Structure 1
Amino acid sequence: MAVDVGSIAPDFTLRDQNNEEVTLSEFRGRRNVVLLFYPLTFTGICQGELCAVRDELSSFQNDNVQVLAVSVDSPYAHKVWAEREGYDFPLLADFWPHGEVARSYGVFEESKGFALRATFIINKEGVVHWKIVNSPGEARDHAEYLKALAAL
Structure 2
Amino acid sequence: MSLQVGDKAPDFTLPDQSGTPVTLSAKLAEKVVVLYFYPKDNTRGCTAEACSFRDSYESFTDAGAEVIGVSSDSVESHEKFAGRHDLPFVLLSDKARTVRKQYGATTLGVVPGRITFVIDRDGVIRHAFSAMGSIGAHVDDALAVVKQLTA
TM-score, normalising length: structure 1: 0.89
1:50-89 matched pairs, under 5 angstroms? 50-62=50-62, 64-89=64-89
Equivalence for 1:128: 125
1:74-113 matched pairs, under 5 angstroms? 74-95=74-95, 98-109=96-107, 111-112=110-111
Native 8 Å contact 1:94 1:101 kept in 2:
yes
Aligned-pair identity in percent equals 36
- Pick closer, same or farther for the CA change 1:94–1:69 going to 2, 3 Å: same
What CA distance in whole angstroms lies between the structure 2 residues aligned with 1:52 and 1:139?
8
- Pick closer, same or farther for the CA change 1:63–1:145 going to 2, 3 Å: closer
Once the two structures are superposed, residues 78-115 of structure 1 have per-residue CA deviations (whole angstroms, 9 ceiling, x without a partner) of 001111110111010011xx211010001135544xx2
Q: Which amino acid aligns with 2:41?
A: T
Q: Secondary structure at the match of 2:92?
A: strand
Equivalence for 2:135: 139
- Pick closer, same or farther for the CA change 1:127–1:111 going to 2, 3 Å: closer
How far off is 1:63 after superposition? Answer: 7.3
Match status 1:44 vs 2:44: yes
Q: How many pairs align?
A: 147
Native 8 Å contact 1:117 1:140 kept in 2:
no
Equivalence for 1:23: 23
Structure ranking higher in helix proportion: 2
Match status 1:119 vs 2:103: no
Q: Secondary structure at the match of 2:69?
A: strand
How far off is 1:138 after superposition? Answer: 4.9
How far off is 1:53 after superposition? Answer: 1.1
Q: Secondary structure at the match of 2:135?
A: coil
Unmatched tracts of structure 2, length 5 or more? none
How far off is 1:151 after superposition? Answer: 1.2
Equivalence for 1:4: 4
What CA distance in whole angstroms lies between the structure 1 residues aligned with 2:92 and 2:101?
15
Q: Which amino acid aligns with 1:119?
A: T
Q: Which amino acid aligns with 2:68?
A: L
Q: Which amino acid aligns with 2:57?
A: L
